[in-house]
């Protein structure tokens, strides 16, 4: 693994292959990738053996402290790729969607992403106050302007819990594929539960292949125990 930048705000490392695919992996609050083991053979398989770039928002700012023009330039400096995909969990899912404003992302797979952590949007959201109270300059207060018509977005989340207000604000578009789980064991731990079922990387691979939510549910999540659905 080669480190490209490591300062007070941002850490970027890359594992390079000869692939024409690049996967951007965004860490979450704990500077982890949820249940996604980005060093594992399964993850590299799900990434089509892609070059993988690991991006950490070290100040847990939901991208507000990151210079995305600099980040874009670093991403493009690594090489020319036929396909760039993005993946992340929780805050990392937020960033996997947000990066599509600045980089040509083919598929963005976001597990339990927030729509916003700004108090003007969600005054009763306190799960991450420890970090959000330290954000001074809100450049990206929500994902309203993050979506485009060219990227396939995959939002995977559990319903019936504190993520519901966020899910209600994600727009409905043909290229935004929502896969929700009614089974309460999922809630904010979708990636871990899918890993427990040994299908996490298959689901990621389906997203990177550009499948629809209905196709992924029918092919990977057909078992009633998942209670998986895509909202009308």
3-state secondary structure of 229: strand
Q: Are 93 and 110 in contact (CB under 8 A)?
A: yes
Instruction: State the pLDDT at residue 151.
Output: 98
Domain with 27 in it: what CATH number?
Answer: 3.40.50.1820
Instruction: State the pLDDT at residue 107.
Output: 97
Strand partners, 179: 156
Strand partners, 153: 108, 176
Q: What is d(CA 79, CA 42) in angstroms, rounded to the nearest whole number?
A: 24
3-state secondary structure of 187: coil
Q: Are 64 and 140 in contact (CB under 8 A)?
A: yes
Q: What is the CA radius of gyration of the chain?
A: 16
pLDDT tens series, the chain, 232 aa: 899 999 999 999 998 888 899 999 998 887 655 656 655 544 555 555 789 999 999 999 999 999 999 999 999 999 999 999 999 999 999 999 999 999 999 999 999 999 999 999 999 999 999 999 999 999 999 999 999 999 999 999 999 999 999 999 999 999 999 999 999 999 889 999 999 999 998 999 999 999 999 999 999 999 999 999 999 7
Q: What is d(CA 137, CA 65) in angstroms, rounded to the nearest whole number?
A: 8
The parent domain of residue 161 ranges over: 2-229
Instruction: State the pLDDT at residue 232.
Output: 78
Using DSSP bridges, classify how beta strands 2-6 and 10-15 pair: parallel, antiparallel or unpaired.
antiparallel
Number of domains in the chain: 1
The pTM is what?
0.94
Q: How many angstroms separate the Cα of 169 from the Cα of each of 28, 44, 113, 133, 198?
A: 21, 32, 12, 22, 30
Instruction: State the pLDDT at residue 42.
Output: 45
Q: What is d(CA 93, CA 99) in angstroms, rounded to the nearest whole number?
A: 10
Q: What is d(CA 48, CA 22) in angstroms, rounded to the nearest whole number?
A: 9
Instruction: State the pLDDT at residue 181.
Output: 97
């Amino acid at each position: 693994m080669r480190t490209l930048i490591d300062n007070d705000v941002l850490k970027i490392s890359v594992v390079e292959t000869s692939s024409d695919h690049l996967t951007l992996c965004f860490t979450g609050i704990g500077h982890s990738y949820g249940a996604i083991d980005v060093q594992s053979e399964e993850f590299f398989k799900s990434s089509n053996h892609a070059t993988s770039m690991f991006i950490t928002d070290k100040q847990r700012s939901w991208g507000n402290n990151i210079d995305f023009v600099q980040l874009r330039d670093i991403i493009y400096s690594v090489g020319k790729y036929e396909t760039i995909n993005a993946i992340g969990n929780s805050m990392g899912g937020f960033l996997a969607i947000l990066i599509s404003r600045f980089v040509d992302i083919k598929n963005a797979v976001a597990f339990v992403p927030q729509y916003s952590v700004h108090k003007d949007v969600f005054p009763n959201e306190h799960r991450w106050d420890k970090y959000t109270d330290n954000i001074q300059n809100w450049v990206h207060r929500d994902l309203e302007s993050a979506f485009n018509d060219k990227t396939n977005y995959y939002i995977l989340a559990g319903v019936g819990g504190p993520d519901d207000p966020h899910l209600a604000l994600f727009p409905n578009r043909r290229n935004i594929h929502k896969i929700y789980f009614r089974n309460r064991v999922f809630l904010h731990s979708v990636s871990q539960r899918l890993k427990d079922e040994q299908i996490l990387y298959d689901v990621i691979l389906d997203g990177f292949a550009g499948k629809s939510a209905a196709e992924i549910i029918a092919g990977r999540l057909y078992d009633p125990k998942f209670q998986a659905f895509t909202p009308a």
